Amino acid sequence: AQSVTQPDIHITVSEGASLELRCNYSYGATPYLFWYVQSPGQGLQLLLKYFSGDTLVQGIKGFEAEFKRSQSSFNLRKPSVHWSDAAEYFCAVVLTGGGNKLTFGTGTQLKVEL
């Protein structure tokens, strides 16, 4: 079945440390890929997206993500985490063969220790 997986439910990092959140998809073709963030009491905000071209994409708030076709992955990274980055992060895909439906992973809750 076509799906998007975020293997880590919770991650805790120290402020200033680097961060990598994992996302894998199961799909025959390259989907459109997204990362969204949901801060406490806030709506979902788009961090970055990948449609085609350069496999390393830059987003807002200093985040980046790299699409690796061979690994069916689209991991989110940040070199130095700030306390304000504590939030829930969702990877999402558009399965272009599935009527362009936007499908989300189960999310990763990020905790930042000061």
Partner 1 sequence: GAGVSQSPSNKVTEKGKDVELRCDPISGHTALYWYRQSLGQGLEFLIYFQGNSAPDKSGLPSDRFSAERTGGSVSTLTIQRTQQEDSAVYLCASSPGSLSTEAFFGQGTRLTVV
Question: Which residues contact partner 1 by CB under 8 A?
Answer: 6, 32, 34, 36, 43-46, 49, 90, 94, 99-107
Cβ(89)–Cβ(76) below 8 Å: yes
Cβ(93)–Cβ(32) below 8 Å: yes
Query: What gap in Å lies between CA 47 and CA 34, rounded to an integer?
Result: 8
- Using CB atoms within 10 A of its CB, is residue 13 exposed (0-12), middle (13-18) or buried (19+)? middle
> Which amino acid belongs to residue 30?
T
Q: Whose Cβ is closer to partner 1: residue 52's or residue 70's?
A: 52
CB of 80 to partner 1, least distance (A): 27
CB of 71 to partner 1, least distance (A): 22
CB of 16 to partner 1, least distance (A): 28
Q: Whose Cβ is closer to partner 1: residue 43's or residue 114's?
A: 43
Dihedral sign computed on CA atoms, order 16, 73, 90, 35: positive
Q: Whose Cβ is closer to partner 1: residue 74's or residue 90's?
A: 90
CB of 32 to partner 1, least distance (A): 6
